[in-house]
Structures are given as C-alpha cells and as structure tokens.
Amino acid sequence: YRYQHGKAREEKKRETLEKLEENSLFVTKRSGEKQRFSPNKLRKTLSFVIHGHEKDIDVEGIINQVRTEIYEEMTTEEISRALIMVLRSMIERDPAYSVVAARLVLSRVYKEVIGPDVIDYTKLEEQHRAAFAISLRKAVAIQRLDPRMLEFNLPEIAAKMALERDNKFMYLGLQTITDRYLMRDPETKQLLETPQMFWMRVAMGTALEEQDRVYWTDQFYRIMSEFLYTPSTPTLFHAGTLKPQLSSCYLNTVPDSLDGIFKSYSDNAQLSKWSGGIGTDWTNIRGTGSFIKGTGVESQGVIPFLKIANDVTVAINRSGRRRGAACVYLETWHYDIEDFLELRKNTGDDRRRTHDMNTANWIPDLFMKRVAADENWTLFSSEEVPDLHHMYGRAFEERYAYYEAKADRGEIKLFKRMKARDLWKKMLTMLFETGHPWITFKDPSNIRSPQDHAGVVHNSNLCTEITLNTSDDETAVCNLGSLNFAAFIRNGAFDRVLIGETVTIAMRMLDNVIDINFYPTQDAKRSNIRHRPVGLGIRGYQDALYLLDIKFDSEA
C-alpha cells in the first residue's frame, strides 16, 4: 500500500514538474480565476521585499524551493504562504531572511486589513490611516471594542501612527503578533488591525480615563511602537475591549472549608477565562487522615482537591488564544507534602497526579537550617497548627518549636517526623525527575515585601516573580510590563534620559490599568484597588550588554 501510494505521489510530482517546464501549470487567483504559474511573478515580489539585502538573499534558490511546493490549481494565497515558509527555513543562513520574511508577512497583513483589491503601495500611509478608522468602527459595531474608542479624534490619532516602525519586527515576532495578538473578526477571522493599529489600540485603551486622551495615547503608543516598553499579554489582548481584563497575575489562598475550596475553583475559572495566570496557596487545607467534626469522618487531604484544580485549569481556554495555566503552592511542613512532591510523576495512580498544573514548595528558612544541621523535621496538619502558615521569620520558628513540643507531649493528633535531609533529597529528586515542585522561599518573600503592613505573603504567582499578600477575601493582582534594555543603547551608550522618560510613561500606563480593568471576581477588585501593585520588569539585558561590548561574566 505504502509503496503504491509512494509511486503515485512521485508520478504526480513528476507531472507537476513537467507542467512547470512547459509553462502549463495553472494556479487559482483570489477571484477564482485560473492563471498560468509564473516564476517571474515570484521574482518581482521578491525584488520588492529584498531591498537593502540583495547581496544576502539567494533569490533563485528561493524560487527553486518554492517550485517544489507547487501543485495544480494551488491558490495564490497558498503560494504566498509557501514563499514565507521557504524564507523561514533559510533564516539560520542569514538574519536577512528573517527581515525579508517579515516584510512578506507585513504585505499580507496590509492586504487583508486595507483590502486586496484596493491596496496601493504608493499610497500606503494614506490608506493605512483611513483603514484604521474603518476598522475601529467595525470592531465597535461587532462588539469587539468599547464604543468610547470612537470618542477619540480618529484622524488626529491616525496621523500619529508611524508605519515605518513595522520594519522593527523580525519574522518570529511579527508572525507571533499576527497569529495571536492582532484583533480579528470572530465570525470571518479577518484581521482588523495591522501592527501599528494594534499598538495604537492598546494605547487608546489604556488612556480611556485620561483628561488629555490624545497626549497620553501618543506617549503610550510611542514607547510601545519603538519597542522601548511592552505591556503584558492580557493588556495587549484586551485593551479597548468591552471587558478589558488587563492584569497579568492573580494570587489567592484557599480556606479550609468545602465552600471555600469550591469557591476557589469558580474564581480561578473566571480568572483563567480572562487570560489571568494563577498562583494558589493550598496550605490551609487539612492533611490526609485528620478528623472532620461536621461529618465525623477522616479527611482525604489536599491531593484530591488539587486533581480537580488541575482539571479546571485544563478546561478553561484563556481568551481563546492559549490554555489555562496555574501553579499551586504548599508549605514544606504540611502533612501531605510527600504526596505533593509526586503530583507531576508519570507513574502511579493517575487520580493523584496533576500533569497540567505547576507545583511549588513554599519553604521556610527553618527547614533549610534543619537540613544544614542534619536535624529532624516535623509535618503537621494545618487545622492543628492554624497560625503557622500566617507567620514568618523568628515568630514562625518559635511557634513551630512550640507545636513540636506539643506533639512530643501527645497534644497534637496528626504529625510525622523525619530527617530534614531525607525530605530535601525527595524534593531534589522530584525536581530532577519532573521539574517540579519548584523551589520558592517563604521568609525572604515576606521579609522583603513592601506590603508587609497589609498581611502575609502566602505564595507567589504562576511564574514565581511576584510576591503579594493574600487573604480569604483578597485575591492579589499584579499588573505587568517590561522595558527592552536593548532599545536604550544609543550611539554605543545606555541612554539614561530616555529610560527615565520611558519608565515615567510606563508607570502611568500600568497605574491606569488598575482603574480601567475589568475584574472577573470581587476579591480581585478589592485587592487591586486597595494595594495598587505593579511590576515593571526588564528584558533584552543580554542584548544590551552585547551592544555595549560588555561580557556577561565581567565586573562591568
């Protein structure tokens, strides 16, 4: 069977090549009209996009490769895609291929947004500005964007777009932004914005409550389109929409009650639905075998509930563009910590595994001290040591010793004692075997917290870069963006004035997110309005060092 079909494919390929040689192979235009395939049209297309890179690009090699992908009645749209794929496959030869591939992607985006039948590249800027207003009105009409977006002076706003900044994109960045970030009509899947329209839409969406909307929109647009600053993905997805969920991270803690546990599932489902990344603290849940007064039975512990949390995470698609993502945290003294370590194993009872959710150890300094001193470590069920999770530093260490003494006197029913080093070895073994649970440290997170007046940090977030206090009625929220250090290298030096200006504008933009934001839960709104936390990160650090000719491991 395979041999016969292989022969048929080879025969078909031979026939296609013969037709190419005889100039008798037909392709299908967008209109449906049949037309002879012409390599010269490919050469003409490439001649437009290789400008400045003529010496770096092997035009004939590209055309020959595309010829091998051609088949009878192939659409011109498919030929365009094949051309981009061939260029993509050659990027490792020279970065010029990435530039040229990006230009071809841009051309397709412009055609789709402006209209393939009306686009005139000699009038591109003019058509681009006109298409911006048309696209915004259409997006409002189909209820993708907030009607307030039409209250802006659209001609004035459109005139501020700098189309030449599209040339800053390399292929991978542009393809990613096209596939995942640019707004589309949900029915037809047609693109409604180009990259510069996208930056402007985000700028407008984060300036909606400004007094001088046009000024701040221009400032926000400038730092994004020049690649100086980029907001987080939820801001890019939802700015200007009817439900602008612009925040990145949500951190919550689960109380030791069935109502609280199932409320956390519901809350996390809503947060995931609107693109939030979630970090949840489960340490308050009592351990396996502990007594439940209300029903008179023994608890099954935290693990079965984590399995449900895992399945809730999988079930929710974040804004239709990526799957839900969460990390669960358990403090290292919890009675179920050994089972927690095995959650990501590929063997064992699958009902006690969470293959789609990240896990993290929340480690107090006392545990590491016990490991260093080769001393014992005691595991407790949280309902018998209810204040332990909400303390840190010296107070935690004193209280932990107090509970150990109670256990020695028989005043604590459920506990387990082991060598601290044995548990540490298990933690490291699982980390090597599964990459989980991650190692996170409780005491430094609390001691260095700028919000220690507002409560205790019980856990970090999905990506473990945020530490915020949580409680039964507060889901901590963080609003993120990052500076691109490589973009601040000007004339061989780090431009301190420019970064000062950019940070000021970026912080205003982040602060606006808190007020404009759509909050999926009241606990999240209560926390974010009360504490107003923002995170301004950096990227492009290694690139900046390279541009400054500073070695990564040098003193400089």
Annotated active-site positions, please?
Answer: 461, 463, 465
Q: What is the DSSP letter of 53?
A: -
d(Cα 118, Cα 188) in Å, to the nearest integer? 19
d(Cα 196, Cα 176) in Å, to the nearest integer? 15
Sign of the Cα torsion 498, 499, 502, 503 reads negative
3-state secondary structure 440-465: EEHHHHHHCCCCHHHCCEEEECCCCC
d(Cα 232, Cα 319) in Å, to the nearest integer? 14
- Coil, strand or helix at 73: coil
d(Cα 63, Cα 43) in Å, to the nearest integer? 8
Q: With contact defined as beta carbons under 8 Å apart, do 196 and 169 qualify? A: no
Q: Is the N-terminal amide bond of 437 cis, ω within 30° of 0?
A: yes
Q: Tell me, rounded to whole angstroms, the distance of Cα 209 from its chain centroid.
A: 26
- Coil, strand or helix at 379: strand
User: Residue 324: which of 353, 302, 360, 354 has the closest Cα?
Assistant: 354
d(Cα 418, Cα 344) in Å, to the nearest integer? 23
Q: With contact defined as beta carbons under 8 Å apart, do 91 and 98 qualify? A: yes
Which bin fits 126, alpha (ψ -120 to 50), beta or left (φ > 0)? Answer: alpha
3-state secondary structure 319-360: CCCEECCEEEEEECCECCHHHHHCCCCCCCCHHHCCCCCEEE
Q: How many residues belong to the chain?
A: 556
Q: Which residues does residue 478 pair with via DSSP β-bridges, in sequence order?
A: 249
